């Protein structure tokens, strides 16, 4: 998903075959903004027009793939759309390969090939097909290494380099099971990765949004620095007020900073979503609001129980929220003096959630 946007922005800076036209660049910007603001029909029409103006170029199918990814998320659970999504990614790869056959250092070919393979890899990982996901990632590894050398010349490469440097080290640290897979790839650097993502958020054109989204996620889940997450989430919801995914992350950031009153109207807006996943998160936040802000622990427990039922059809996709819900129920059991039940809830929370703050809370109680 994310690597694709940094490709497009590169087209602004050099060796572009067809995107020196400022009017066309503006069309891409407008389309991407419409897509992030959940205006998928508008973005689709713009992307189709761009594809017509750039026949045989990977930008057309890549934009359509990205639009489908967001519109039907989680796209892996929609067979018809997922099949079309894979076709679009394969078309992107084919067009990119044609550019690279003519010139192995073609910047657009490098970017789009890297993006399409990375999006394939992510989809496979989301489907728990980890061996296939690693294999797909290896297919783009040579292009990724070229990108490392290009970031000083082309700012957009800071995004892909930042993601690689950070997750190459952090993911196997949090998930030791995957350390053998990581051995296939050159070592990264967590601090360097964070700095590169921060640079991408400020200086890139199209990948700025994706970089900010990842910085919200990373600072909430792994680095336990909610003040940094809130800085980026606030910028995202101000620019894309209709994006429930961004709104979700913003509420989480507000809660981590204990800004409960500010979160209330956002929770109400999230409840308006027709997607079960966002309804689930609104229930979680409502429960946390009752617990931490209004101190109505009985109501909080009732809402947490309701949220668990809402989470059932979401399966693994809801793991993160299940972790928070079980931790909430653990605290309710702890208040009632039911240590055995609290321990069971905390153990379940640990099995579902990788949030560093939550893990510290659960382990501290279990080690008492």
pLDDT tens for 208-254 read: 899 999 999 999 989 999 999 999 999 999 999 999 999 999 999 99
- Mean pLDDT taken over the chain: 88
Average pLDDT over residues 195-218: 91
Alpha carbon of 72 to those of 23, 40, 68, 196, 247: distances in Å? Answer: 29, 10, 6, 30, 18
Q: Would you identify the CATH topology of the domain 1-150?
A: 1.25.40
pTM of structure: 0.87
Lowest mean pLDDT among 22-26, 28-32, 157-161: 22-26
Q: Is the separation of the CB atoms in 285 and 263 below 8 Å? A: yes
- The proportion of the chain whose per-residue pLDDT surpasses 90, expressed as a percent, equals 61
Alpha carbon of 24 to those of 19, 30, 31, 34, 44: distances in Å? Answer: 7, 10, 11, 15, 15
Indicate the domain borders of the chain: 1-150, 258-366
Q: Would you identify the CATH topology of the domain 258-366?
A: 1.25.40
- How far, in Å, CA of 192 to CA of 197, rounded? 9
Q: What integer pLDDT is reported at residue 10 of this predicted model?
A: 46
- How far, in Å, CA of 269 to CA of 211, rounded? 25
List the one residue out of 71, 65, 4 whose CA is nearest residue 38: 71
Q: What integer pLDDT is reported at residue 20 of this predicted model?
A: 59
Q: Do domains 1-150 and 258-366 have the same CATH topology?
A: yes
- How far, in Å, CA of 213 to CA of 216, rounded? 5
Q: Which tops the pLDDT comparison, 133 or 36? A: 36
Q: Which tops the pLDDT comparison, 348 or 105? A: 348
- The proportion of the chain whose per-residue pLDDT surpasses 70, expressed as a percent, equals 93
Q: What integer pLDDT is reported at residue 19 of this predicted model?
A: 46
Lowest mean pLDDT among 138-152, 219-233, 257-271, 333-347: 138-152
- How far, in Å, CA of 166 to CA of 52, rounded? 37
Q: Which stretches within 72-156 are classed as H helix?
A: 79-102, 107-126, 130-139, 141-150
Confidence of residue 28 (pLDDT cuts 50, 70, 90): confident
Alpha carbon of 58 to those of 97, 133, 309: distances in Å? Answer: 9, 22, 43
Confidence of residue 150 (pLDDT cuts 50, 70, 90): confident
């Amino acid at each position: 998903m994310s690597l694709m946007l940094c490709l497009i922005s590169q087209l602004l800076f050099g060796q572009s075959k067809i995107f020196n036209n400022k009017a066309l660049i503006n069309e891409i910007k407008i389309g991407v903004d419409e897509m992030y603001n959940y205006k998928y029909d508008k973005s689709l029409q713009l992307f189709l027009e761009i594809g017509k103006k750039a026949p045989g170029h990977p930008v057309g199918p890549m934009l359509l793939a990205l639009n489908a990814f967001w519109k039907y998320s989680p796209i892996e659970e929609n067979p018809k759309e997922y099949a079309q999504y894979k076709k679009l990614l394969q078309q992107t790869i084919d067009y990119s390969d044609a550019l690279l056959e003519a010139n192995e250092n073609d910047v657009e070919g490098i970017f789009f090939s890297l993006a399409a393979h990375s999006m394939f890899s992510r989809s496979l990982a989301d489907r728990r097909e980890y061996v296939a996901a690693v294999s797909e990632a290896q297919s783009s590894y040579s292009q990724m290494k070229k990108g490392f050398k290009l970031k000083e010349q082309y700012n957009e490469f800071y995004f892909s380099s930042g993601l690689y440097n950070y997750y190459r080290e952090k993911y196997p640290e949090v998930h030791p099971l995957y350390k053998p897979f990581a051995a296939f790839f050159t070592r990264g650097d967590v601090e360097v990765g964070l700095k590169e993502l921060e640079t991408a958020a400020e200086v890139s054109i199209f990948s700025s949004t994706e970089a900010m989204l990842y910085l919200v996620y990373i600072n909430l889940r792994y680095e336990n620095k909610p003040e940094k997450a809130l800085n980026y989430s606030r910028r995202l919801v101000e620019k894309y007020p209709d994006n429930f995914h961004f709104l979700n992350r913003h509420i989480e950031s507000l809660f981590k900073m204990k800004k409960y009153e500010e979160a209330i109207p956002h929770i109400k807006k999230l409840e308006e979503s027709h997607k079960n996943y966002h309804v689930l998160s609104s229930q979680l936040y409502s429960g946390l609001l009752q617990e931490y802000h209004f101190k109505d622990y009985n109501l909080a427990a009732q809402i947490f129980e309701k949220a668990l039922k809402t989470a059932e059809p979401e399966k693994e996709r809801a793991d993160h929220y299940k972790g928070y819900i079980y931790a909430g129920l653990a605290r309710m059991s702890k208040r009632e003096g039911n240590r055995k039940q609290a321990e069971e809830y905390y153990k379940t929370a640990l099995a579902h959630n990788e949030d560093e703050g939550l893990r510290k809370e659960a382990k501290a109680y279990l080690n008492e």
